[in-house]
């Protein structure tokens, strides 16, 4: 927990939002925080509208990306003695007057930490693509760093300057905001969220520089790299001194308690379903004699429920699922099904069958995984809903009984 007030620099990355940046800066200055505007090569002369404002400025001659603008702000903040940088978008989506909420959370809890302003998307004007994009991003970040975060796409964040300058970051555009979260968690930095409001103007008035094709390709490549790195048994670059953050201990002296902890690990309906999907998908692959080891390792790295995944993988035991995969792979490669059950086909040509098994499992595995995950999700969700109703009903009865006793 921090023992002193943090010196916070409020940073506004600016790229062709001249129509809204003046109001954003006015509200930012009203918080009492120092303000830095980083003009990322704007062509609408938005920075000129801030002439006379008591703010700091950085201006790029050409557009380099939001990530580069924020990295420049980190360097500026480090050179000028700031402890934290608080970023706010220049399009008016965030309310700068809520910046103290993030500062208060940072000063009240564990430090260093990244504090995310989690947007309350309750407006009718919030586009469906934004809701989907946020949930999609949250899912992948959860797999990549093991943290359940409510809004991994929010641009309203408070960063610890020293630790951010120590991270090895490679992305420079919208993908920067995902990379910095995941690598910060890997580096030992705490990440927390506070709820903030969000303003989405009508579609006709909305200005966005997110390129649906190019930026989604960048994000896909980033997630592929982060997932691959997550699976490697190599230590991550640490930027926080001292022991790692406290995590739940699953292995205990009592075997029954260990089993209970394993069963309760990531036991929300959704993540149970994800564990089942992974178990069935990996179980369908031709990982002969090592399915269980691989499943335990993968679920450990992704912090999924190991018991659910291993149990689900048993549905892929020979001969049915391997035969389905081989038939599917044979059809994909040759355009027909393998109907010859002779010794030569299935034993002497085993190397061909293994390749067909692998190719077919890439189709059969995900489909079977989905068929297994959906009923698990439905069942677990219904069980949780019933449990919550029983708890709620029990609490109401207790209150009623206490009222009768007092009377």
- Which among 197, 231, 265 is the end of a domain? 231
Are 368 and 303 members of one domain?
Answer: yes
Distance between CA atoms of residues 65 and 82, nearest Å? 23
Range of the domain at 201: 8-231
Can you give 16-58 as a three-state secondary structure string? CCHHHHHHHHHHHHHCCCEEEEEEECCCCCHHHHHCCCCCEEE
CA-CA distance, 281 to 292, in Å (whole number)? 12
Residue 250 to residue 256: CA distance in whole angstroms: 11
Domain membership flag for residue 241 = no
pLDDT digit string, tens, across residues 267-306:
788 988 999 999 999 999 999 889 999 999 999 899 898 8
pLDDT, mean of residues 26-38? 95
Residue 192 sits in the same domain as residue 330: no
209 lies in the same domain as 266: no
Per-residue pLDDT of 77-108, as tens digits, reads 999 999 999 999 998 889 999 999 999 999 99
Which among 395, 368, 169, 184 has a CA at the least distance from the CA of 284? 368
- Does one domain contain both 169 and 288? no
pLDDT at 344: 80
Measure the CA–CA gap between 288 and 68, rounded to whole angstroms.
Answer: 46
> Which is more confident, 86 or 247?
86
Distance CA 273, CA 376 (A): 6
Total domains, the chain: 2
Q: What is the average per-residue pLDDT within 342-368?
A: 90
Is 248 inside any structural domain? no
* Close Cβ partners of 131 (under 8 Å, ≥ 6 residues apart): 121
Domain boundary among 231, 263, 278: 231
In 155-296, DSSP assigns E strands to 157-160, 190-196
CATH number at residue 92: 3.90.550.10
Render pLDDT for 160-215 as a digit per residue (tens, 0 to 9): 999 999 999 998 888 899 999 999 999 999 999 999 998 876 555 555 656 667 87
Query: Residue 255 CA to chain centroid, in angstroms?
Result: 33
**81, exposed or middle or buried, with CB in 10 Å at 0-12, 13-18, 19+?**
exposed
Q: What is the pLDDT of residue 252?
A: 47
317/213 same-domain check: no
Strand order in the sheet with 84-87: 56-60, 34-40, 8-14, 84-87, 157-160, 113-119, 190-196
């Amino acid at each position: 927990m921090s023992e002193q007030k943090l010196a916070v620099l409020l940073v506004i990355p600016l790229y062709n939002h001249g129509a809204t940046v003046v109001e954003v800066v006015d509200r930012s200055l009203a918080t009492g925080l120092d303000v830095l505007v980083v003009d990322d090569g704007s062509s609408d002369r938005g920075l000129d509208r801030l002439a006379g404002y008591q703010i700091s400025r950085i201006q790029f001659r050409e557009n380099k990306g939001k990530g580069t603008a924020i990295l420049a702000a980190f360097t500026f903040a480090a050179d000028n003695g700031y402890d934290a940088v608080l970023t706010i978008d220049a399009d008016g989506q965030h309310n700068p007057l809520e910046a103290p909420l993030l500062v208060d959370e940072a000063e009240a809890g564990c430090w260093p930490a990244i504090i995310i302003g989690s947007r309350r998307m309750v407006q009718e004007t919030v586009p469906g693509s934004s809701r989907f994009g946020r949930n999609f991003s949250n899912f992948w970040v959860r797999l990549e760093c093991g943290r359940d975060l409510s809004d991994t796409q929010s641009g309203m964040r408070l960063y610890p300057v020293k630790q951010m300058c120590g991270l090895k970051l490679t992305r420079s555009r919208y993908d920067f905001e995902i990379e910095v979260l995941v690598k910060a968690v890997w580096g030992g930095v705490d990440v927390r969220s506070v709820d903030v409001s969000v303003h989405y103007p009508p579609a006709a008035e909305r200005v966005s520089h997110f390129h649906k094709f190019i930026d989604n390709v960048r994000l896909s490549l980033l997630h592929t790299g982060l997932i691959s790195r997550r699976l490697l048994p190599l230590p991550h670059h640490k930027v926080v001194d001292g022991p790692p953050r406290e995590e739940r201990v699953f292995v205990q002296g009592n075997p029954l308690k260990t089993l209970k902890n394993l069963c309760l690990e990531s036991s929300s309906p959704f993540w149970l379903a994800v564990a089942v999907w992974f178990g069935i998908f990996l179980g369908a692959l031709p990982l002969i004699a090592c399915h269980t080891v691989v499943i335990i390792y993968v679920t450990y790295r992704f912090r999924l429920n190991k018991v659910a995944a291993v149990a689900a993988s048993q549905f892929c035991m020979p001969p049915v699922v391997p035969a389905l995969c081989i038939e599917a792979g044979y059809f994909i490669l040759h355009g027909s099904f393998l109907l010859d059950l002779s010794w030569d086909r299935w034993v002497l040509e085993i190397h061909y069958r293994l390749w067909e098994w692998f190719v077919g499992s890439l189709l059969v595995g995900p489909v079977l995984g989905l068929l297994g995950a959906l009923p698990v999700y439905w069942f677990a969700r219904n069980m949780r809903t019933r449990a919550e109703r029983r708890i709620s009903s029990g609490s109401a009865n207790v209150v009623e009984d206490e009222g009768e006793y007092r009377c």
